[in-house]
Structure 1
């Protein structure tokens, strides 16, 4: 396989470099003065298509690289107040200089056929008016139609299939990665254009020294000082009384910016994720994380369907956030940012399932049915304070954040299995406190740069899981006592510190960054399982530990001093960054009560490399590879019993070593983005091999309850995946269309009930999407995908399962009369497994009247017209066949008033 990758990469780059030619030179005017910002394009004779283009610098110099099979090509030069020049040249490397004649003319940028997309260097600009339709109201509505850009429901943005690293408004990063609120609520009328900043390095002192392959988004508003925002107030009826309120005022000035956001609804809209960190910037900015709980304990969860969230989410959510940015010095180099948000959310969920387990040598075939009803309660708050200086002569950033969770989950389960019929009530209380501080500073020292980084994280998790009555449990090897309930208590205390220092040397496009650092993490686990006892086993190989082993008091420590060398290079065509770290890994797990004392002391070399080549103006080709090692966490080191869920108990064998996982991966990517003819596409391939020294060996009894065990044995998980996407905007038809394909294959070693087997999964998907605003009386948005999945198991477990799926969403809007809109939405999800087929269709109808003078919309919407109340699906898996029926939101009608704040 490694040889195949090597051959693939060699052929790949051979194709890229075939027949590439470079033309360079200087453009001057009649007086011999340099002509800056002149556009130089290469075209094939007789064809209205640009092969490559370049722009002259301040000295009038240009350089254009192109690929063509023609013997001659046309070189065209255009510049402001100069007469356009065309010359046919040979298809060869050459240096050509030109003298232009004066002529009154007007040309702003490299613009051909249309001004909707323009390019200058690494910046691609989109005129928002060229892509919007009459029904669009927010920035996200329009951005979904821009070629090369994807927008998800939470407002997150992908460019050419990859996440962006920054989101700016008028050049300022107010949201620090949590930009979903602005994207979903900024009125489109306030925006002049959207800029994609390719290869964006957000730390100014590192620009032209440490390259980046990620893109950023900058939103240019029409006015330098803008007070705007979006609001909605709605009410309706379905099962309960419905409400939906969204109030998001915004201010963007030259010195300060702020956004205040309050959203609440019980109509199935998931608004609380908009504040998540979606873009993480550069590693030199320090470390930022989305604080989350260590959810070790769980109630049994009802299933969720493969549907848009609004179809099944029974919620009652309140989400409040505020973001503020201000410059605190006259030079506007120092910024203070304060961010805070609060979420209160209650969710109901219900599902019914029938699971038929296959027979194995250890147990007969069996059938288990479950009806699960859940209540999930989320109560969390977060505050963040950020000081930043981002200037060409220095960088400083300190981020302090605090998060508090007061979450609780409930479950009511009715279960029928071959052993008994049982009713259980389950409850979790899980408060969490989290504190982080991240500091990074870069100080210029003569011609060098000194960077110091520090990250500190402290978190406590308390979780209590109660299952009542105790007789609900039927876990193999365990019996409840006569108590009314079984209780699992758990407490985790985690402290993490990462400190490093490096110095950067730059010469002729190369930057070398030697670095030393120390990473330290310690976690204390204290747990106790009460009101349950073990059944003595006659099997000498059974890993069940003594009856007293219901508690853990484990300390898990990782200390890793390291040294590394970073190598970066950037030129007009090439970009390279690599890191060569040597880590001294020292891991220790100690639990005197359980007689656990394990440790690993190992030195590892974990290189990573990325190289990108830009050619013929519109093409990019890249390769990447890395090796990393993972030594597990505390959740793989404890040996006392831990009931992580009412349907399973986990315990590691006391004799098992600390997990050691070695991961190797390599990938390549070919990308084309031509803003001149509105065409974008990318092709990707990735291979990975994960080697592990422990393998899971779950034991499932006929009632469907599980004990998770682990066996010491080398095993692999191998993944191969490739994908392609092509998108184009057709200005003549006002249509943006794209098609995509992906194919992923994984092969892994596995165990089940002490039986060894090999598991292979292949999944393929085909996608198409387009939107059209050609007709003044109608607009269309359409997305569809077809998926095929095949799973094969061979060895101790033999199975062969296939699954097919089809999903699509159609949105059609009609504009029969000025200011009147009629909309129709259709979601379709079909599944096919074995001889079972399920078709799930959902339909919505809306009418909207726009009071254009006041910019107010009045909308009446009827959702789930067919009143479909359940979602059905059928799955064939390695161990079982399951049928699931999930409760959905009923038909509901909403009346909403939508408006801009200004």
Structure 2
């Protein structure tokens, strides 16, 4: 492994240093006046390939760095109303000035092709008209086709494979990271262009001092004041009656912006996740989190398939959100943002699973079949208030948010287990899980002479209360546990209270591109766990405190760190060098146990990036981190996490300690002149832990889990590459990708130790074509190859399995007559393990008439034409193999009216 890393780094730095040359100078016209915005490109003679390019500034100055093995290269200069100039120059560092001759530029020669993707400094602009098709309606429809940009299933926007840190509309961050609503509902006709802001530092006072390696997206609208939005109203035939309503009006002005959003459906569309925070900005802005529940307890859950959600989600959802931004001062430096959303959702799910457990030294081979039917009820309310000042002379941001959950889960389960005896059990399960959560984050940066003072504070308080009921008690089949006196119901009560406070202060010194930021801070977290498990006994009738918990887990970390940042035209570096004093205490008065750990750790985080030859970026990063566990690895009494799993820690175990070492490197190329983008990545992770799970499983699949003290490792190596290009002549955007992830981890089962190794390779291909006026096409395909190897001194744990998967999504739209569209989509998911092969195909067809004058679409769509009702898959791992059959949505027909608000 070390040889592989060394070879990779050697090649990496060879690319950086090989034959880099710089040409600089000044471009003027016949009268000696500077020519701004002239393009200067370097090409190899006889080849239509650009090596590097530059744009002259307002003084007519340019600078281009390139790499070539040729002895001579061609330098070309182009400018509006000037005669193009070409000169062959030597491959060497030099200063060259040029005087261009005036020549009228015919507008005919300035085609959209040259404006499709443009670059100026760290900003790359995409003209949306160059990438859309006749069937596209929203920003998200077009974004998926832009080279270098990818939209994940959860709505996260990636640029060159990395998540963006900001999403702006006309330069304003209305959504504060929850940009899914705008991306999915902003009409494409309102957008002029999409801008990618590379190396974007969102805090203005830091922009020349603290660099960033993340990109941001800015949506530039056609009008500075825009009232727009998108709506849909649909009804359908099925069992039950189907509906789909989407109403999202929007306003984007110079002083204020707002978005109101209401969406409801029962036809399998997961709209409630649009409010999730997808871009978290800069740590200098404070801390933001997606508030969620601490889901310790669970009912038996039916399986979900590896399919688009709309194929299997049996839902009834209502989602309402509102976002408002207003400038509250004349200079437009202060902003007030208010965000709120409410979700009410009911989900049904059903699956059948047959599991064949392999024999171990202590447990014979067995077969378990299980039918599970679920109802999941979600009631969630979230509100947020944000005050921000983001100016060159100071920064202030305070974010206050509150979340409340009233969730409930239900399960009806039938289980048949066979070993020496056959048992049939029926269970009804209910989980109530209300949660309250409050956070406040404050960050301010105050200029002090030539220095900057930054104060940050984050407070989080959350309570989780969960109650799991299982009836009858005889449904439980966990090793060594039996109901007390033929009890009707087993009840697990659980309560968690968490208080967290992080405070820090730093001061920044800047000089000659370097910024040094010494910082001191204090992080505190206190978690209290109380739980009671009723109507069970352990072993020979043990009851009482072994089923109770009263644990307080406290972490106090004072720290000091030094931040180092540097930015020049080619180099960017940022590093954080903290020294932490970790003080952890776990107190359990029920058992008179008090455990402590006091340890000083050095946890550096370093990133270096080098930009060269105009189009290349290369980076190296590494970090070391330590984690000393949470309350979920420190309690000692039994907790029933689910009807088939009971956990307990050993009070004599030490505090958990996890040490993670990580390093990675990346080579990135983006050339807007020939529409070519690619990136190559490598990452290595090594996690060392002092505790390892040691579960006991019986023939019914029930598990009791403990942890034992033993050093163990989890090591992973990940390689990935992606290349994409847009072909303007054919109006085609295509990309291919490859990834290889190898991981190895230590594990136990029934007191037997073994090692798991997983090798996962995947190949991806994407194609979008709008060349023909009568047709457009989108195609995505992926192939996955998975190998799992388990090795042990015990032969029953030795196992090697291979799994292959193929997925593709095809969408074709035909335009036979003006304003008429016929669409066809095909989702295919295949999997195979040995002789077990499963092919799952889904087909949809649609017809759409567009009332062009009113910008209204009428769509009739038939989904799941083949009426496939179940999804089948097969899985094999180190301890069992399983066959799963999952209930899907049946065939359904929807009629929908779609429209823009303006």
Short-chain TM bin: over 0.9
Cα deviation for residue 81 of structure 1 reads 4.4
1:494 aligns with 2:494: no
1:423 aligns with 2:446: no
Helix, strand or coil for the counterpart of 1:272? helix
Give the distance between the partners of 1:13 and 1:466, measured in 2 at CA.
60
**Structure 1: runs of 5+ lacking an equivalent:** 538-544
Q: Could you tell me how far apart the structure 1 residues matched to 2:671 and 2:518 are?
A: 38
- Residues 654, 39 of structure 1: alpha-carbon distance in 2 compared, 3 angstrom cutoff: same
State the distance in 2 between where 1:106 and 1:447 align: 51
Residue of structure 1 aligned with 2:520, choices 508, 516, 522: 516
Q: 1:761 aligns with which of 758, 762, 782?
A: 758
The answer for the alignment partner of 1:222 in structure 2 is 222
CA RMSD, Structure 1 to Structure 2 (Å):
1.6
Does 2:489 match 1:485?
A: yes
> Where does residue 401 of structure 1 map in the other structure?
401
Give per-residue Cα distances to partners, 1:59-109, cap 9 Å, x unaligned.
332211001122111112233444433221100111222333444448999
Partner secondary structure for residue 140 of structure 2: helix
Q: Which residue of the other structure, out of 432, 435, 440, is the alignment partner of 2:438?
A: 435
Distance of 2:847 and 2:107 partners within structure 1: 44
SS in 1 for 2:789: strand
Does the 8 Å CA contact 1:823/1:845 hold for their aligned counterparts?
yes
Pick from 450, 453, 456 the counterpart of residue 453 of structure 1: 456
SS of 2:818's equivalent?
A: coil
Give the Cα separation in 1 of the matches to 2:33 and 2:732.
44
Kept in 2: contact 1:479–1:532 (CA 8 A)? yes
Distance 1:506-1:747 versus aligned 2 partners, 3 A rule = same
What residue number does 1:140 align with?
Answer: 140
Q: How does 1:83-122 map to 2 (within 5 A)?
A: 83-105=83-105, 114-122=114-122
- Which position in structure 2 is the counterpart of 1:690? 687
Correspondent of 1:533 among 534, 537, 541: 537
Three-state SS of the structure 2 residue aligned to 1:189 is helix
Aligned residue among 718, 726, 741 for 1:744: 741
| Secondary structure at the counterpart of residue 545 of structure 2 | coil
Q: Is the 8 A contact 2:545 2:590 kept in 1?
A: no
Alignment of 1:772-791 (within 5 A): 772-791=769-788
Residues 110-156 of structure 1 deviation map (CA, whole Å, 9 limit, x = unaligned): 99953211111111111101111110000000111111111134432
CA offset digits 1:678-717 (Å, max 9, x no partner): 1111111111100000011111001110001111000100
Q: 1:304 to 1:611 in 2, by over 3 A?
A: same
Aligned equivalents of 2:381 and 2:113: distance in 1?
A: 51
CA contact (8 A) 2:663 2:685 kept: yes
SS where residue 10 of structure 2 aligns? helix
Q: CA deviation at 1:24?
A: 1.5
Where structure 2 has 5 or more consecutive residues not aligned to the other structure, the ranges are: none
2 CA distance for matches of 1:186 and 1:666? 39
Structure 1 segment 711-860 matched on structure 2, within 5 A: 711-795=708-792, 796=794, 797-860=797-860
User: How many residue pairs get matched?
Assistant: 895
Give CA-to-partner distance per residue, 1:570-617, whole Å, 9 cap, x none: 111111111100000000000110232111100000001111111111
- The residue aligned with 2:268 is 268
- Contact residue 110 and residue 118 of structure 1 kept, 8 A: no
Output the TM-score relative to the length of structure 2.
0.98
SS state at 1:6 partner: helix
Distance in 2 of aligned mates of 1:95 and 1:653: 72
Quote the residue 1:540 is aligned against: none
Contact 2:536–2:543, Cα closer than 8 Å, also in 1: no
The answer on whether the counterparts of 1:618 and 1:673 sit within 8 Å (CA) in structure 2 is: yes
The structure 1 residue matched to 2:621, chosen from 615, 619, 624, is 624
How many Å separate the matches in 1 of 2:637 and 2:113? 70
Q: Say whether the 8 Å CA contact 1:549–1:594 is kept in structure 2.
A: no
Q: What's the counterpart of residue 19 of structure 1?
A: 19
Partner of 1:73: 73
Deviation at 1:6, TM superposition (A): 3.5
C-alpha deviation, 1:29, in angstroms: 3.9
Q: Give, in angstroms, the shift of residue 33 of structure 1.
A: 4.2
| CA distance, structure 2, for counterparts of residue 604 and residue 811 of structure 1 | 53
Q: Which deviates the most, 25-34 or 640-649?
A: 25-34
> What SS is found at the alignment partner of 2:660?
strand
Distance 1:607 1:234 in 2: 54
Aligned to 1:594: 591
Asked if the contact 2:537/2:543 (under 8 Å) is kept, the reply is no
Change (3 A) 1:139 1:655: same
Give the secondary structure class of the aligned counterpart of 1:205.
helix
Change (3 A) 1:112 1:860: closer
Instruction: Determine if contact 1:75/1:87 at 8 Å carries over to the other structure.
Output: yes
1:230-261: CA deviations, max 9, x gaps? 00000011120000000000000011000000
Q: Which residue of 1 aligns with 2:881?
A: 881
- Pick closer, same or farther for the CA change 1:546–1:654 going to 2, 3 Å: farther
Q: Per-residue deviation at 1:57? A: 2.5
Aligned-partner Cα distance in 1 for 2:514–2:9: 24
Q: Using the alignment, how far apart are the partners of 2:108 and 2:281 within structure 1?
A: 31
Structure 1: how far apart are the matches of 2:239 and 2:596?
Answer: 57
Residues 108 and 224 (structure 1), Cα distance of their counterparts in 2 relative to 1, 3 Å cut: farther
Secondary structure at the residue paired with 2:304? coil
Query: Within 1, Cα distance between the matches of 2:108 and 2:55?
Result: 12
The whole-number CA distance in structure 1 between the counterparts of 2:847 and 2:221 is: 30
Farther off after superposition, 36-45 or 458-467? 36-45
Pair 1:552 & 2:581 matched: no
Provide the secondary structure at the position in 2 that maps to 1:548: helix
Q: Is the 8 A contact 2:344 2:378 kept in 1?
A: yes
Match of 1:41 in 2: 41
Structure 2 CA distance for aligned equivalents of residues 95 and 775 of structure 1: 47
